[in-house]
Structure 1
Amino acid sequence: MGNLTHVYTLQNISYSIQPSKKLLISSDFYTLFIVMNGSGKLAIDHDTIHFSEEKCILIPPNNTVSIHIQSEHLCFYQLQFNIVNLSNSQNSYSHFTSISERHLLPFSQCHRLLEVIYQNRLAEDEHTIFEQHVHFQELMLLLLHQTIPKQMKKNDRQSVEQSVNHLQKHFEKEWTVEQLAQLADVPRWNYTRIFKDITGQIPLHYLTKLRIEKAKHLLMTTNDRVFEISQSVGFNNEYYFNRRFKEHVGISPGQYRRNQSSHIRVFAPFLEDFFVALGITPIAQFSHSKWGKQDYLGLQKVPDIDVQNREMDRLFYYKPTLIMLDSGVERWESFQHLDEVAPVCHLSHPGENWQSTLFKIADLTGKTSLMQDVILQYEDKVQQAKGILSKSVYGQSVAFLRISAIGITLYAGPKCGYTGPILYRDLGLMPHSLVWSIPHNQRKAQLKFAQLLQLDADHLFITFDKQHSIYENEERAILKTPTWKNLAAVKSNCVYEVDFLTWMNYGILSHSKKIDDVLNVLG
């Protein structure tokens, strides 16, 4: 840790509203002129500096300056200060050895500090005097941030990167895109483009994300009131903070804090896999009169609620503290009005990107540290399985079929669907040629009987859509047809039936179980 080399001591502050005339000013101290309104020229020796709004001009000691006012009025703060050297270095305040001009950004922050310092200029009590000293140091820090020589900025991208780093440290300040672009000395149109290229977001969206992430940390680690946290991260309005927090996180700040500090009672139909993976047992689980429930999760003692037969009223009895729904629940009319039971978090569940869903749920429930272990365990399992399968089924083709009373569905390749990313991407199995014929943006395709004849995959994984329905015999009737019996995988006894809800799921535990199923028959 470096040693403090000097401090700044404020000697005087004044606020002037001058009519059109010429002023002559001299001081034995360093002087800052910060223009609030109007325009003019400052002359010293043979140099001239133009006065304009939001400009700061620094004058070293023992200089006489004349100010020529060009507008109807010129309004400016004049601050006189000294530098107390705490070290033997003679270069510790080299930034202030010559006349210079700066734009203090964000200027709204500069303005606020100036107002507080000016209001307390006559203070006599020790507490207020020290508070004024601290605010003056903040103002000087703001000034120092603007003193990086332009020659050190090699190109626009480095300048924008520097402003991003500055924003990460000072996200609580009031910022506009114009101020950030000025800070980087890059035109706004180019600044926004480079900023998005670096961060993936436009500046103000990135700023909001920084503030929300800091707020989440404070909600977890402090007992500060929500209002105090909103102020400290840069939201001046608590209602606006609550609204933006819920937009980004899915629940209110208060609910987020409660989830972190207490045992959560959650109902998350179709998302139970992620909660169980994080060590959280839901207070109820979904079931479906035709599909059954997710037996692979081992939730035999957890009551189930049939989402198809409108049993949602039973939720009142289980008293959830959080209900989490993914975007696919719109098709279930029974999920309406659940906000009358408990706070509802609507989660964007991208399916194939199960990691982002796991991260979101871990973040909402205070399980982010455990999440990393869960993912690492899965990745280790994938690598081990991939090594085994590369030796046992190298060069052999694989396909997955979902069979129902209405037909046969072939699932897509390594980028789409419940199964392709696991079979073909994670495990490195070879898709059958029919799998590659499915358009890249589609997760599945219906197979006609003529196409079924072309399915000469070496290995077939199959599941039946409604194992507990009256159509079960009708679904399985295909297994007795000549077309089916003539398939290469059928003849070689390489057809493997798997559990419907285990394989028709995007959860990390279901994916892990898929790997187990594959190793059991192909390993």
Structure 2
Amino acid sequence: MIRASGRKSKGDAEVRKREGFDSEKILVLPESRIRELSSHPLLRPLFATDIGYFPHAKYHYRERPDGCDAYILMLCVGGAGWIQVGEEKRKEVGKYDVVVLPPGAKHRYGASEDNPWSIYWVHFRGESARDFVDLLPLESHTLQVSGRDAVRLIEWFQPCYELLSRQGYSLAHCLFANQQLQQLLSFLAMQRTPGGDDSSKETVERSIQYMMLHLGSNLSLRQLSEQANLSRSHYSAVFKRVTGASPLHYFTRLKMQQACTYLDLSAWSAKEIGAKLGYGDSLYFSRVFRKEIGMSPTEYRRKMKG
């Protein structure tokens, strides 16, 4: 449970709260249950150990000189607060900011005295926890989401808490709750990257739409950058920052995805499909398909699906 010490450290202006907060929610799984979860093949990749909600958490403060044994994720849905990790500069946290603190790192955090935050929070561990966090577009341990996206995150937090608090710690309920946690982290991974801006994201989205309309063409980097009204180098950098892939590689992926759809839903030959996607050489089309999909068009078509 997160409870703050009543002792003040030198230089701290915060008053630290000993008791809980009105209408708070808090659940901490027993250590014995955590050991069971960490050994189960379906749960050991990622599982929550603590989860809760602190509304209007005036005087909330937490300090861990030796860090925590789990990742800590907080979503601020109102008010303000701050975090400090190690000897890094203290960072302010506001409405719709998401905070992720790494395990084992000295840290402290607290609510604003004048405008205390309301936060949803979860501690999580697992073999894949770091892999999930590495996907998040964090900048100084935080990222910001829109109000609409914050609502979606809350819709994932609440079932996790309700399942674990009201339905006990059964394997099925823990599994479902942790699937909600995976969805939450995956959704956060799709947020825009640090250093990006909304205009960059919109530029890339328009470029992808342009690609989709020209899957039968062989678009060049020059054509794509001109359509985006950017230099080739700037366009390539923006596109890769937002998508993680180069423009031409992304375009090839779209073509191969469409090739899979044609193979699934039409009787066209691989040669005909390649031609529809701008590949005059059927052998070259097959090589590209195998590289992206991992098998030949013929093998893909024979594979049972659905």
TM-score by length of 2: 0.43
TM-score by length of 1: 0.27
Question: Quick one: higher RCO (CA 8 Å, sep 6+), 1 or 2?
Answer: 2
Which structure carries more strand by proportion? 1
